[in-house]
Chains A and B, each alone.
Chain A
């Protein structure tokens, strides 16, 4: 039980770090990386939390998280393709803005 709690807290702190990365990113890509890591760690956190509370039959939610995280990533990449063909000077300048 103690190990589960420790693992949950470790995952929770990793989530906090990934969130910090997503909140304060140098480039857009770093932000997406933070969001992606946050998503995968959340999946693990839900799984661990289910065992911690003694009802591990709610893993369906973790599966949904994994699915939606992936779809969200693909949507973001697709959005980049649009803005890259649409107005590439503007979109590249915005990423530069965040860079510096």
Chain B
């Protein structure tokens, strides 16, 4: 996909988000959450590029959210909480990644799952600290020093999410085209060759892993500040599954895919829940099944198909 076309699509997306949010107030919230999840899914995308599936990235999403929950009372400033959440999630990712980068395929996936489930259990267990399943309430922090009205705050969070989504989208796009990103794709196809070129595949994967954890943390911080209530459910394995779901739904092709997938996912869930409150899960399952069976390139692939291009590889 040409750079110009992708930029115009991204701009179209930004305009679409803003227009929808302006027209329908409740969408401000849903779109903020979707953008946040899209940022987390960018991280899943990086790992998918190496052929690795993390079934445990809820760990980073929830650690970002809990950083906000714990620090917001003493540090009520969104623009400080976000980098802190990124930093802490990134550090957790570094520690976990040093161990996980040794593993591939199903072991990588399952170990990620295991670590995130341990974290989930801790969130529930350490009741004194985390208030267990009741969760922690987050008072709206200031944004850039301003104490906003709730209405303005909702807008502010949407804009923050939008800016970060665009920023991280560009970052991931550049990363995927860079030697580190291309080496990542090399892990998928011929890891031994990387070693025989003097490149540590483990470190290549670790770098991407830490970046994915960091983005997960940012996403979690946005989710925490937007929902203003953080519960351990955010760390449960089904949340991780949801992120991978969005990645595939959006299509693993380009940096726009995750956002396309996340917005679609949230809206399908809302529509499904409104129409069949008791069977929304099955409807999402059917959507996922249809996408995989009939459009394995995801929405991004379908879009490229409509535009007359083959779903290509790296942008």
Whether chain B is bound by chain A comes out as no
Which B residues form the contact surface with A (CB < 8 A)?
none
Q: List A residues at the B interface (Cβ < 8 Å).
A: none
